A = this chain, B = another copy of it.
Amino acid sequence: MHILITGAAGMIGRKLTARLLADGALNGRPIDRLTLVDIDAPQRPDGLAARTDCLATDLADAAAATAAIAGKPEVIFHLAGVVSGEAELDFEKGMRVNLDGSRALLEAIRAVGGNYRPKFIFASSIAVFGAPFPEAIPDDFHTTPLTSYGTEKAIVELLLADYTRRGLLDGVGIRLPTINVRPGHPNKAASGFFSSIIREPLNGEEALLPVDDTVLHWHASPRAAVGFLIHAAGLDDEKIGPRVNITMPGVACTVAEQIAALRRIAGDTVAARIRRAPDPLVLRIVAGWPKRFDPRRALALGFRAEASFDDIIRVHIADELGGRIAS
């Protein structure tokens, strides 16, 4: 089994790589080759039996996209992209990387022809949706994004479905919830506070909360996201049918419920490190985001997220903090 991961140097890419190497197999077949690409060459992972190529690749360059799939990987995890904030600030870069790069990769696959028909897992996002919303967003709700990032994801979803319908590949687009708790340092993304109000207090640091604690949102852990990707790779395409883009399950909870979960797990001292610092701009941005889904198709297809925000915090403590909390 030869697997290609684009965006392999990103947070999800590194966790996916580690999980695949730990498993040693995908869909019951041993992994004997990995191709890891990103805009800068990904680091070579440790403890690797499989042959691994780490490439610096700008997928929007057709020749680079062709090179990335030269080894005819049987499974492709397409995670590469610039994030929401960057795609909004730099329209041309977002369109080039998120749309043209994805299309170049699809076209490179089409150009191979013959019997080559890889499994292609695309990391889409709930950003394909834009307000106003019903109380729980159903699987057949329209995609009317309110960011260029969401627009680019929604377009690639459409291309993926058409390339799949034409028999050029077996695509699955998985619409990831907001990933929480993101490891690492605080960033300037408007969604960053969802993670930082958990991550920083557990680290003994103060975190700022820019929104009311009534704000409701849709979360899943990095571990769950990796699980979605691997589960998608094993799905029978006949079970999926032509609607290949699927909203993933998650945990719907308010900021107040996030904080209550933190208090249950780590105590009052830790939870007290969250300081309210209302920011009208962040509040306005967040108001346009999806709050809660009714992801029936994903559940029927066997995708599983955490059952509660407590579980999301426990995953973070186990996977990032070695089980320890700064008290």
**A residues in contact (CB < 8 Å) with B:** 91, 130, 139-146, 148, 151, 154-155, 158-159, 161-162, 165-166, 242-243
The answer to whether B145 touches A158 (Cβ under 8 A) is yes
If the complex has contacts A130-B242, A242-B130, are A151 and B162 also in contact, measured as CB distance less than 8 A? yes
If the complex has contacts A141-B142, A142-B141, A143-B142, are A148 and B130 also in contact, measured as CB distance less than 8 A? no
CA distance A242 to B139 in the complex (A): 21
A243 to chain B, nearest CB (A): 5
CA distance A154 to B144 in the complex (A): 11
CA distance A139 to B132 in the complex (A): 13
Contact of A144 among B146, B155, B243 (CB under 8 A): B243
With a CB–CB cut-off of 8 A, which chain B residues contact A144?
161, 242-243
CA distance A145 to B164 in the complex (A): 12
CA distance A142 to B161 in the complex (A): 13
With a CB–CB cut-off of 8 A, which chain B residues contact A140?
141-142
Most buried by B among A130, A139, A154: A154
Closest to A143 in B: B142
CA distance A148 to B142 in the complex (A): 19
If the complex has contacts A140-B141, A141-B140, A144-B242, are A158 and B162 also in contact, measured as CB distance less than 8 A? no
Contact of A242 among B146, B155, B165 (CB under 8 A): B146
CA distance A270 to B68 in the complex (A): 62
CA distance A242 to B161 in the complex (A): 25
With a CB–CB cut-off of 8 A, which chain B residues contact A146?
165, 242
> What are the 7 A-B residue pairs with the smallest beta carbon separation, nearest first?
A151-B162, A140-B142, A155-B155, A144-B243, A151-B158, A142-B142, A154-B158
CA distance A159 to B154 in the complex (A): 10
CA distance A91 to B142 in the complex (A): 25
CA distance A144 to B146 in the complex (A): 19
With a CB–CB cut-off of 8 A, which chain B residues contact A143?
142-143, 158
CA distance A283 to B151 in the complex (A): 34
With a CB–CB cut-off of 8 A, which chain B residues contact A130?
242
The answer to whether A162 touches B142 (Cβ under 8 A) is no
CA distance A43 to B155 in the complex (A): 35
With a CB–CB cut-off of 8 A, which chain B residues contact A139?
142
The answer to whether B166 touches A91 (Cβ under 8 A) is yes
CA distance A239 to B243 in the complex (A): 32
CA distance A257 to B324 in the complex (A): 72
If the complex has contacts A143-B143, A166-B91, are A158 and B155 also in contact, measured as CB distance less than 8 A? yes
The answer to whether B161 touches A151 (Cβ under 8 A) is yes
With a CB–CB cut-off of 8 A, which chain B residues contact A165?
146
If the complex has contacts A166-B91, A242-B130, are A155 and B159 also in contact, measured as CB distance less than 8 A? yes
The answer to whether B145 touches A162 (Cβ under 8 A) is yes
Closest to A131 in B: B242
CA distance A125 to B142 in the complex (A): 15
